[in-house]
Amino acid sequence: MSERYDVVVVGAGPAGIFAALEYARAQAGRIAIFEKGHEIAKRRCPARETACASCRSCDVMSGWGGAGAFSDGKLTLSGEVGGWLGEFVGHDELDRLIEDADELWLKFGADETVHGPDPDTAARLQRQASLADMQLVPMRIRHLGTDRSPAVLSAMRAHLEGLGVEIRTDTAVGRIRAHGGHVEGVELTDGTFLRANAVVAAPGREGAEWLAAQAAELGIGLANNAVDIGVRVEVPAAVMEPLTDPLYEAKLLYYSRAFGDRVRTFCMNPYGEVTTESYGDVVTVNGHSYAEDKTEYTNFAVLVSQSFTRTFREPIAYGRSIARLANLLGEGIIVQRLGDLRVGRRSTPARIQQSVVKPTMSHATPGDLACVIPYRHLTDILEFLDAMDPLAPGVASPGTLLYGVEVKFYSSRIEVDQNLMTQVAGLYAIGDGAGVTRGLIQSSASGLVAARSLLSDRSR
């Protein structure tokens, strides 16, 4: 392997992959991608069958394709959700970037079907939501499916290798090195130093803390994003069909009357199943759905956004502490009937069996989420489900299952310019790990931004 590159990409999630795709097709120089996780064919998660085994490198969060490889694979074709990239590039430019990223996903095998309501249906549903004191954000969505995503991502890898891009999985970058205000290259964990004219840091959510540490060492500014804490809701698919049939995913926003907190739905999975994801020493709940295999149930998250200013400024530590407590009490993930939560009793296996919903996560532990989730957050969640019930009758029924906890850690935001370059010349920070995005399509688009900036510099 050569010791010098024009560009080194750290992380092989959508941000890093799309940066490489855009740069490599211009044949502008030597490029390498380093990814600490496994290649996609070797990614295996024991939590899919039993429970999280706290693997050294989490196969759900790390490896070729990043966390998105085993996600539901939704490409949200709207700049209104999925991150903050528009704050850097402008909202009109973001729309163009989303179109370009979508074309690349299609080129490598994404389903051509786009879900979304017609204008009349969108207006009707928005009116219904407003009567419930909610805001409905209609979106156009392309669904890859957890089963199809690996094939699409594998096609991207084959294409990159065909263009001469060096790809090293199971290879962790220990440090980003800079001198005199300009990036020098990267140092692998085995001590190997690789020089590079530019470094694109795209470590994903799994590498967010590592990137924050690199930023601190290099004197790059950081700002905290919020942390979202909540539960994953599972109901019969028929309950959600008034929303999922026309929308596929219903993005609902609500401000609680009790506390004024922002509450929202996230990652709705029609006919899907509940699963887990790992953040090092904690396991949180998630969900996905397949393109082909369907269950009888739909799941989605209800999340409460929590920001901290003074004097406490550690949102990730706060979220981790709540997830860690749930892991302690539930030996992983806790599941509870909504009816049991309302009357203040823990769910038992016998009570779970009384529910019309049979848990799609069989190893979740029946328990009491009130022992884990703060009162304020639980109040917000219950209020949200009651407000949502007129839109999807039955969602607030006693048999609805709640899994906890679901925590979304939005990485500390790295200080970058409109091209996503840091104060260190030649060092770019992109994707979810940089706190710039929080979804597949904006993450992909951020990779295009960095690559186009690099190519523009070369052409001058």
List Cβ neighbours of 244 (8 Å cut-off, separation of 6 or more).
237, 250, 268, 270, 298
User: Considering the domain boundaries, does residue 118 fall inside one?
Assistant: no
pLDDT score at 379: 98
pLDDT score at 3: 82
Token code pair at residue 267: 């990652």
pLDDT score at 92: 96
pLDDT score at 54: 58
- Both 267 and 217 in a single domain? no
- Both 130 and 230 in a single domain? yes
Q: Choose among 331, 338, 363, 337: nearest CA to 350.
A: 337
pLDDT score at 311: 64
User: Considering the domain boundaries, does residue 57 fall inside one?
Assistant: yes
- Both 181 and 244 in a single domain? no
Distances (CA, A) of 242 to 39, 237, 245, 389, 393: 39, 10, 6, 11, 9
User: pLDDT means per 10 residues in the chain (460 residues)?
Assistant: 86 97 94 95 64 59 80 86 94 97 97 91 96 94 86 96 96 97 96 96 90 95 86 98 94 96 95 88 90 92 86 77 92 95 97 94 95 96 98 97 90 91 98 92 98 86
Distances (CA, A) of 337 to 16, 330, 333, 402: 40, 15, 14, 6
Instruction: Answer whether 398's CB lies under 8 Å from 316's CB.
Output: no
- Both 403 and 421 in a single domain? no
- Both 153 and 131 in a single domain? no
- Both 323 and 394 in a single domain? yes
Final residue of a structural domain among 367, 394, 409: 409
User: Considering the domain boundaries, does residue 143 fall inside one?
Assistant: no
User: Considering the domain boundaries, does residue 451 fall inside one?
Assistant: yes
Q: How far apart are CA 299 and CA 288, in angstroms?
A: 8
Structural domain containing residue 11:
4-111+148-223+413-459
How are beta strands 282-288 and 273-279 bridged, if at all? antiparallel
pLDDT score at 252: 97
User: Considering the domain boundaries, does residue 74 fall inside one?
Assistant: yes
User: Considering the domain boundaries, does residue 214 fall inside one?
Assistant: yes
Distances (CA, A) of 339 to 116, 284, 371: 33, 22, 16
pLDDT score at 57: 59
- Both 348 and 246 in a single domain? yes
ω into residue 311 within 30 of 0, thus cis? Answer: yes
Final residue of a structural domain among 369, 387, 409: 409
- Both 372 and 231 in a single domain? yes
What size, in residues, is the chain? 460
- Both 214 and 89 in a single domain? yes
- Both 396 and 418 in a single domain? no
Calculate the dihedral angle through the C-alpha atoms of 334, 337, 342, 344, rounding to the nearest 10 degrees.
-50
User: Considering the domain boundaries, does residue 449 fall inside one?
Assistant: yes
Q: How far apart are CA 173 and CA 175, in angstroms?
A: 6
- Both 263 and 335 in a single domain? yes
- Both 210 and 96 in a single domain? yes
CATH code of the domain containing 86: 3.50.50.60
Count of the separate structural domains present in the chain: 2
Final residue of a structural domain among 372, 392, 409: 409
User: Considering the domain boundaries, does residue 95 fall inside one?
Assistant: yes
Q: b vs e for 175-186, b when ≥16 Cβ sit within 10 Å of the residue's Cβ?
A: bbbbeeeebbbb
Other C-beta atoms lying within 10 Å of the C-beta of residue 247: 24
